[in-house]
Amino acid sequence: MTDPLVIFTPSGKRGHFPVGTPILTAARQLGVDLDSVCGGRGICSKCQVSPSYGEFSKHGVTVRDDALSPWNSVEQRYDDIRGLPKGRRLGCQATVQGDIVVDVPPESQVHRQVVRKAAAVRDIIMDPATKMYFVTVVEPDMHEPSGDLERLAQALKDQWQIEDLHAPLPVLRKLQKALRKGNWEVTVALHRGSLDDRHQLLDIWPGFHEGRVYGLAIDLGSTTIAAHLCDLRNGLVLASAGVMNPQIRFGEDLMSRVSYAMMNPGGEVEMTAAVREAINALTVQIATEAEIEAEQILEAVFVCNPVMHHLLLGIDPVELGQAPFALATSDAMALPARDMELTAMNDAAQVFILPCIAGHVGADAAAVALSEEPGKSDDLVLIVDVGTNAEILLGNKTRVLACSSPTGPAFEGAQISSGQRAAPGAIERVEIDPATKEPRFKIIGSDLWSTDADFGTPQITGICGSGIIEAVAEMRMAGILDDKGLIGSADQTGTLRCVETGRTHAYVLHDGTQAGGPLITVTQGDIRAIQLAKSALYAGARLLMDEMGVDHVDRITLAGAFGAHISPKHAMVLGMIPDAPLDKVTSAGNAAGTGARIALCSVAARRDIAQVVRQITKVETAIAPKFQEHFVNANAIPHATDGFPNLMG
C-alpha cells in the first residue's frame, strides 16, 4: 500500500510519507520552509501549521477524515499553558495519519518575503545570518572530560547539523552559567559567516529564550548617517533614525576630509573616532525608540562611499585623494563590531560591510546594485544615486558599468544663496507662470501651494535641493533664463522680479515684505552652482553611455533620499539626466539603504553582491578625456548638443 500523500501549501511541495512521520520531518525532507527554534521539542511554537484537507483531531479525540495524529501530551501541554490558535497544530508534534494538505502560514515560514515599501516593489527573501536555536547539551562527566563549548558544539551538530562553531570571549564568559541555569538546555544566537560557513556564537540564554534579535542596516553618508533597526526573524523595520555625520566639522565634502587627513597628522583618527561615536549614539537612540535593549542588536550591515568606508574602518583615506585612487581593499568585510569600537550593540555583534566597486565607487553603489539589480534587467537602465557625490550605474543583463561623479553639495541646498537642507520651512516645489512670470511654491510641512501674497503663508526659511532644481528649470521654461544659464533683466524678461545685482541679475522667488519670511532670490551664482553640479552628473552618465556604445537608455531610476524628491520633468528640462520617456523615469527611494536591508536579511544576497561587484566594469571619470568634453557641453540648459525629444511631447 502506498504511504499517505502530504502536500504543503503555498509551496505546492508534496511527497509520500509513512504513517507517524512528524509534519516537521516531512517538511524538512521536502525542503518546505517551516520554522523551528526548539528543534521539535514542542516549546517554541514556530512550527505551527494548519491542516487544510479534512478535519483534524483535537484534545486526543480522533474524528472522521482526520489525517493527522491526535494531540499528544506535548502539544496538549503547550495548548494548556500558552494556547494554540484555532485550527493550528504544532508541526513537530502532529504526525501523518493519512493523505493531508498542510498549510504553512506566513509567520511559520523562515524565508518569508518582506515587501519593500517603495514605488518599485522588491521582495527580500529572508535568509538571515543570525538565527536562534534551542539545544540540549550533554552534561559533563568525570569520564568524558570535554569542555562545555565542545559539548555545545557537538549538540548543535547532532540536533541542528551545524558545524564549525566558534565562540568569542564575551560569550564564552556566559556559557557555563547559562548551561547550568538552564539545566543543560539553552537557546543560542548563532551567526553564519557572510563569506564562509563558520558559525559564531553571539549570545546564549538558559532554557528556551523567547526574546528577539535585531540588526541594523546603516547607510553611512558623508552628510548623514541613516539607520534602520530590523527584526532578524522577519526583516521588518521596527525603527529608523538618522543623525548628521559629525565629520562635517572636518570638511563639508569627501575630498576636504581627505585633505584634512593629509594636512593634519592623526586627522583620520579624529574622524574615525567621531563617526564611531555617532554610530554608537545612534544605536542607543534607535534601540530606545524601538523599546528594546541595545545589546539585542547582534548584527550591523554598512553601506558607504570609499572615503567613509576607510574612515569607518580606521584606515587612512589619503590614497583615495590621489590617482590611481587605490583602496586598501575593495572586498566585502565581515568582522566583529568590537574591532571597530562599536560598543553600544551586543559585545559579540558582527559587522558586514558591502564591497566597494572602485576607488571612487563605493559600497553604497554596490548596495544600489543589490537593490535595483541592473544586471537582471532586459532594458538598458541608468541608475543615478544623487548626493554630494553621484553614483551612476548603467547596464542590463549583458553588462553593467559604474562610475561616480563629483556633483558637490549644491543639490543638497549647499552653495545656494538661500539654500538649506530639506527640512520644514524649505521651498521644495516651484512653479512659474510663463505668461506672468509669477511663482508659486510649496514648502516642506505644508500641502498648500503658496504665493508671496498669501496671507498666513507658513514661515518660509529657505530653499532645498529639489526646490532649487525646480526653480531653475521653471525659470528656463518661463524664459527668465536663457540656454546658457543667464538670468535676463526686467526689460528682457518682462517681470520686475528680475532685479539687478551688480553686473548680473537675480530672480525674486519670495518677497518677504508681503506675507513674512525672508527674501529668497535665485542668483546668477546659484544658477552657476546648479549648472556645475548637473553638468558633472550628466557627463558621468554620458561617459557610461559612450563606454556602452549607446546614445539613449530605456529607463532611468533616480535613487537616494534626494532622488526620491526630484521631479523627472524638471530634472530633464535642466539636463541633469539624459533624454528618456518621462514615464520611464522613476524613483527608487533610498536604494542604498534598501540594499543594506537586503544584505542584513540575507546571507545569499551578501554572497551574491560580492560576485556581482567583480563583474561590474568601473569607469574612472577623473582620467577620462571625454568627461571634460561632456561636462562643458552639459553646461547649457538643457544641453549644447544633445537633443531631448521626450521633452517636446
Interacting residues with ligand FES (CB under 6 A)? 24, 36-38, 40, 42-47, 90-92
DSSP state of 409: G
CB-wise, 36 or 590, nearer to ligand FES?
A: 36
Cβ atoms 488, 453 nearer than 8 A: no
CB-wise, 74 or 636, nearer to ligand FES?
A: 74
In a 10 Å sphere around its CB, with 0-12 CB exposed, 13-18 middle and 19+ buried, how is residue 101 labelled?
middle
Three cell numbers written together for 332 = 566585502
Q: What residue ranges in 106-149 does DSSP mark as E strands? A: 113-115, 123-125, 130-136
Single-letter amino acid code for the residue at 95 = T
Judged by phi (left if over 0) then psi (alpha if -120 to 50, else beta), residue 251 lies in: left
CB-wise, 39 or 467, nearer to ligand FES?
A: 39
User: Could you give the count of Cα atoms lying within 13 Å of 27 in the half-sphere of its Cβ?
Assistant: 29
CB of 13 to ligand FES, least distance (A): 18
In a 10 Å sphere around its CB, with 0-12 CB exposed, 13-18 middle and 19+ buried, how is residue 451 labelled?
middle
CB-wise, 24 or 303, nearer to ligand FES?
A: 24
CB-wise, 74 or 255, nearer to ligand FES?
A: 74
CB of 427 to ligand FES, least distance (A): 56
CB of 187 to ligand FES, least distance (A): 11
Residue 508 bridge partners (DSSP): 521
Dist CA 168 CA 334 (whole Å):
15
CB of 22 to ligand FES, least distance (A): 9
CB-wise, 65 or 158, nearer to ligand FES?
A: 158
CB count in 10 Å sphere of residue 573: 20
Cβ atoms 192, 129 nearer than 8 A: yes
CB of 164 to ligand FES, least distance (A): 24
Cβ atoms 191, 299 nearer than 8 A: yes
CB of 207 to ligand FES, least distance (A): 13
One DSSP character per residue, 454-490 reads -TTPPPP-EE-HHHHHHHHHHHHHTTSB-TT-PBP-H
Dist CA 275 CA 315 (whole Å):
13
- Helix, strand and coil in the chain, % to nearest 5: 35, 25, 40
CB-wise, 46 or 534, nearer to ligand FES?
A: 46
CB of 273 to ligand FES, least distance (A): 45
CB-wise, 44 or 124, nearer to ligand FES?
A: 44
Q: What residue ranges in 285-372 does DSSP mark as E strands? A: 297-304, 333-336, 350-353
CB of 581 to ligand FES, least distance (A): 52
Query: Which residue has the closest beta carbon to ligand FES?
Result: 92
Dist CA 607 CA 603 (whole Å):
6
CB-wise, 104 or 576, nearer to ligand FES?
A: 104
CB-wise, 28 or 198, nearer to ligand FES?
A: 28
CB of 39 to ligand FES, least distance (A): 6
CB of 227 to ligand FES, least distance (A): 32
Dist CA 46 CA 108 (whole Å):
6
Q: Angle of helix 591-601 relative to helix 363-372, nearest 10 degrees?
A: 80
CB-wise, 77 or 614, nearer to ligand FES?
A: 77
Strands 165-166 and 123-125: unpaired
Name residue, grid cell 540656454. 483
Note the helical H segments in 549-585. 560-563, 568-574
CB-wise, 93 or 590, nearer to ligand FES?
A: 93
CB-wise, 190 or 220, nearer to ligand FES?
A: 190
Which helix (H) or strand (E) segment is 631 a member of?
Answer: helix 625-633
CB of 197 to ligand FES, least distance (A): 23
CB of 228 to ligand FES, least distance (A): 29
Three cell numbers written together for 212 = 528577539
Dist CA 484 CA 372 (whole Å):
35
CB-wise, 45 or 283, nearer to ligand FES?
A: 45
DSSP state of 358: B
What are the distances in angstroms from CA 246 to CA 217, 252, 362, 408? Answer: 19, 10, 20, 18
CB of 35 to ligand FES, least distance (A): 7
CB of 213 to ligand FES, least distance (A): 17
